[in-house]
Amino acid sequence: MQTDLEYAQQLDSQDELASYRAAFVHDGDLIYMDGNSLGRLPCVTVDRMGMAVEQEWGRDLIRGWHHGWYDAPQRIGDKIAGLLGAGPDQVLTCDSTSTNLFKLTLAALALRPERRRIVSDTLNFPSDLYIIQGCIDLLGGRHELALAPSIDDMRIDSAALAGMIDEQTALVTLSHVVFKSGFLYDMAAVTARAHEVGALVLWDLSHSAGVVPIALDSCGADFAVGCCYKYLNGGPGAPAYLYVRRDLQDQARSPIWGWFGQHAPFAFGLEYHPAAGIDRFLAGTPPMLSLLAIEPALDMLLEAGVERMRKKSIHLTEYAIDLYDALLASAGYTLGTPREPELRGSHASVRHPEGYRINRSLIEELDVLPDFREPDNIRLGLAPLTTSFADVWHTVERLRRAVDQQLYLRYPAERLAVT
Ligand SMILES: *Cc1c(COP(=O)(O)O)cnc(C)c1O
């Protein structure tokens, strides 16, 4: 293992995706390790937004609905579908991930009215679990939520999970890549297990879309949701997406009966009749500027190609783990991410009892921006189009320096509101 900067620079010079880096806005020497939380801003998006505001809003005004606004949820959804292994007319860009999860959880439970069990896991994003708990409450508390345990705080015990999915199970809902450790599920295997007993599956793709090849159609996945502001570079609070398998669309119902999901919104009839197909999962008027901001990045991601991005992503996480072994393991850090490439997404977590304060010192004085997840995880989000091998090298070197020079002692352990 070579631990010098020159080696990282050599890897960058051999990187076939290296040229994409300059297509994003950069600010000085800041090393950005949070592409898994808020992806960088593509330069083309700046121009696109200028046009959306000045021309479309400013001059086209209401006519904008005929010039690419009204069909934006479907058009952008079809582009996202290209990253999810999904054919057309099955993905919509709308609402937030939380809202879409709510809609699709209730849609799924209504398709299995006799069944009372929902299966998830203890490593799922807590908000996802809150949404499920809220759905259970809304339905009168008749369902139970069973959570598969972790073996090691990183991975889920797949045998225990398979055992929990039984004939009473209405829905299995999991994050494809787990937010803290980066653990990656075998989507085909879990989906097949659920279908074996007649259960439905809802995947949250927030941490896998754009970096891990996904095959929703060929896995036969029923439902999926995910976020556009992480590896999809759609901007802060960007609308999210949802997927409903084509042959379920006309049986499934959104619990939010808004006019955009009505079969003839501009007939202004007094009774709700759901639109045919995926459109029934829309609710109301989309936040158009935020929605349009997603599109330019998608064109770039599709051009770069999921397979090439996955290849670089594995290389980046592998390199980060190699450097962890060489430089961080001896400084009190432990690895919070699976070592097997087929078991992880595109971020690597390193853990340290002083993780929170170390993270602060990186941000405040070492010009590195990772993020921190309780109780002790420093997450390094490695976005294939924007992260270089030299970025990884500098980050690990500074993580080491923060401990060697005890820089973290300058910061309080009390948490800021957003970590
Ligand atoms: C980021 C993320 C979300 C975000 O949900 P919002 O509704 O956008 O706040 C949801 N689920 C998972 C697994 C995530 O990683």
Catalytic: which of 193, 280, 379, 398? 379
pLDDT exceeds cutoff 80 at 419: no
**What average pLDDT does the segment 94-98 reach?**
98
State how beta strands 144-148 and 169-175 pair.
unpaired
DSSP string, 99-141: HHHHHHHHHHHHHSTT--EEEEETTS-HHHHHHHHHHHHHTTS
349 C-alpha vs ligand 1 centroid, how far in Å? 18
Strands (E), 212-364: 223-226, 240-244, 334-335, 347-351
The residues near 48 (Cβ < 8 Å, ≥ 6 apart) are 292, 293, 295, 296
Is 280 a known active-site residue?
A: no
Which of the residue ranges 35-39, 296-300, 307-311 would you say has the lowest mean pLDDT?
35-39
**What average pLDDT does the segment 153-180 reach?**
97
291 C-alpha vs ligand 1 centroid, how far in Å? 17
227 C-alpha vs ligand 1 centroid, how far in Å? 6
Q: How confident is the model at residue 240 (pLDDT cuts 50, 70, 90)?
A: very high
250 C-alpha vs ligand 1 centroid, how far in Å? 27
Is 241 a known active-site residue?
A: no
- Do 349 and 412 meet the contact criterion of CB atoms below 8 Å apart? no
Token pair 């036969």 in the structure block, residue: 220
Say how far apart CA 84 and CA 172 lie, in whole Å. Answer: 19
**What average pLDDT does the segment 29-56 reach?**
97
**What average pLDDT does the segment 248-272 reach?**
97
The burial of 276, by beta-carbon neighbours within 10 Å (0-12 exposed, 13-18 middle, 19 or more buried), is given as exposed
Say how far apart CA 230 and CA 84 lie, in whole Å. Answer: 15
Res 398: pLDDT: 98
**What average pLDDT does the segment 74-103 reach?**
98
For a ligand 1 pocket test, name from 36, 37, 96, 97 the mutation site with the most ligand atoms within 8 angstroms of its C-beta.
97
Q: How confident is the model at residue 338 (pLDDT cuts 50, 70, 90)?
A: very high
Is 389 a known active-site residue?
A: no
Q: How confident is the model at residue 153 (pLDDT cuts 50, 70, 90)?
A: very high
Res 302: pLDDT: 98
Is 379 a known active-site residue?
A: yes
- Do 243 and 84 meet the contact criterion of CB atoms below 8 Å apart? yes
Token pair 């992260």 in the structure block, residue: 387
Mean pLDDT across the chain: 97
Res 259: pLDDT: 97
| Whole-prediction pTM | 0.97
225 C-alpha vs ligand 1 centroid, how far in Å? 9
CA distances from 367 to 38, 231, 237, 361 (A): 17, 21, 25, 9
For a ligand 1 pocket test, name from 227, 229, 232, 349 the mutation site with the most ligand atoms within 8 angstroms of its C-beta.
227
Question: Which residue CA neighbors atom 10 of ligand 1 most closely?
Answer: 97
Question: Which residue CA neighbors atom 4 of ligand 1 most closely?
Answer: 97
**What average pLDDT does the segment 88-108 reach?**
98
390: left (phi over 0), alpha (psi -120 to 50) or beta: alpha
Pocket residues: Cβ below 6 A from ligand 1: 96-98, 125, 127-128, 175, 179, 204, 206-207, 227, 240
Res 111: pLDDT: 98
Q: How confident is the model at residue 192 (pLDDT cuts 50, 70, 90)?
A: very high
Is 367 a known active-site residue?
A: no
Question: Which residue CA neighbors atom 3 of ligand 1 most closely?
Answer: 97
CA distances from 77 to 83, 228, 261 (A): 10, 11, 15
Alpha carbons within 13 A on the beta-carbon side of 16: 10
Amino acid at 298: L
How many beta carbons lie within 10 A of that of residue 366, not counting itself?
18
pLDDT over 90 percentage in the chain:
98
The two counts, helices (H) then strands (E), for the chain are 12, 13
pLDDT exceeds cutoff 80 at 70: yes
Catalytic: which of 79, 117, 180, 230? 230
Res 386: pLDDT: 97
Q: Which atom of ligand 1 is nearest to the CA of 97?
A: 7
Q: How confident is the model at residue 187 (pLDDT cuts 50, 70, 90)?
A: very high
Say how far apart CA 119 and CA 96 lie, in whole Å. Answer: 22
305 C-alpha vs ligand 1 centroid, how far in Å? 24
Catalytic: which of 20, 24, 32, 125? 125
Question: Which residue CA neighbors atom 15 of ligand 1 most closely?
Answer: 206
| pLDDT tens-digit series, residues 194-236 | 999 999 999 999 999 999 999 999 999 999 999 999 999 999 9
Say how far apart CA 135 and CA 140 lie, in whole Å. Answer: 9
8 C-alpha vs ligand 1 centroid, how far in Å? 32
Q: How confident is the model at residue 1 (pLDDT cuts 50, 70, 90)?
A: confident
Say how far apart CA 178 and CA 377 lie, in whole Å. Answer: 13
3-state DSSP helix/strand/coil % of the chain, to nearest 5 = 45, 15, 40
